[in-house]
Amino acid sequence: MSYLTLLGTGTCQIEHERRASSVLLELDHTPILFDCGHGIVQRLLEVGIQHNQLEHIILSHFHPDHVSDLIPLLQAGAWSQQNPRHVDLNIYGPPGVTRFITSLLDLFGANGLRQPKAYQIHIHEITDNRFSIGKQNFEFLSLPPAGNHGLRFRWHDKTYAITGDSHFHAQEINLLSGVDVGIIDAGHISDQEIIELAIATQARQIICSHLYRQLDSQQLQTQAQHGGYTGTIQIGHDLLSLLL
């Protein structure tokens, strides 16, 4: 079975209901984490995945609300007495990811966040808009202005896209155009821009995430339909899961 689960639909805001940004993909039982903001290591446990089972983490960019739980995740891998890491960890990200991760590792000292005799941390700097994990191909497309990258992939004849952080611009429309499911940053753009994005991309299902404010899905849906949108807009919540 394969799933896409919103582990965190929040932002830098500290809230009861929402952890920071993260989406978990489970593709034929291979877990792949897209972003790892605050509270996500606990959310992983809630869906039955221990930190040390993860072998693949993709980072959209290096804002704290997308990366801050890398620290507890890496420390637990190195030092947990119950679940220490025995398998290598691959971290994928945009240009700068090598410097970012090595700086983080160095900041906490030689073995604070790693145990090189037990496992390796492989850093993959993505420079040509695409990469693969096993046989699965991913597109990794720049979404200005914060160095952020969106992820797009096909799985069982459907196309999925996740924006991470974004703003309303041509690159975002391109990422989301015609996808079956788009997980969007709805917090940095206005209601009107969410509506325009839906109309311009005709993404079949848009799930609003990275939420700074309350959204009214009914109102967004109605206005988007008036503009010719034929898909559905829904508001994401933590642990919302789709069977892929």
191: annotated active-site residue: no
User: Cα(28)–Cα(146) distance, rounded to whole angstroms?
Assistant: 32
d(CA 236, CA 243): 15
3-class SS at 201?
helix
Map tokens 């899961």 to a residue. 241
Cβ at position 189, least distance to Zn ion in Å = 12
Contact call for residues 83 and 54 (beta carbons, < 8 A): no
Say which residues have a Cβ less than 8 Å from residue 117's Cβ, sequence separation at least 6.
none
What phi, psi does 15 have (nearest 5°)? -135, 155
Closest CA to 43 of 244, 237, 242, 230: 237
Closer Cβ to Zn ion, 142 or 232, answer by number:
142
The CA-CA-CA angle for residues 81, 82, 88, to 5°, reads 85
Nearer to Zn ion, 69 or 165 (CB): 165
Interface with Zn ion by CB under 5 A: which residues? 63, 65, 165
Q: How far is the CB of 37 from Zn ion (least distance, A)?
A: 7
Cβ-based nearer residue to Zn ion, 60 or 221: 60
| Token reading at 110 | 């030689």
Q: How far is the CB of 160 from Zn ion (least distance, A)?
A: 19
Question: Of 140 and 229, which has the nearer Cβ to Zn ion?
Answer: 140
Residue 239 beta carbon to Zn ion: minimum distance, rounded to whole angstroms: 19
Selecting among 28, 35, 65, 69, the annotated active-site residue is: 65
Residues identified as active-site: 65
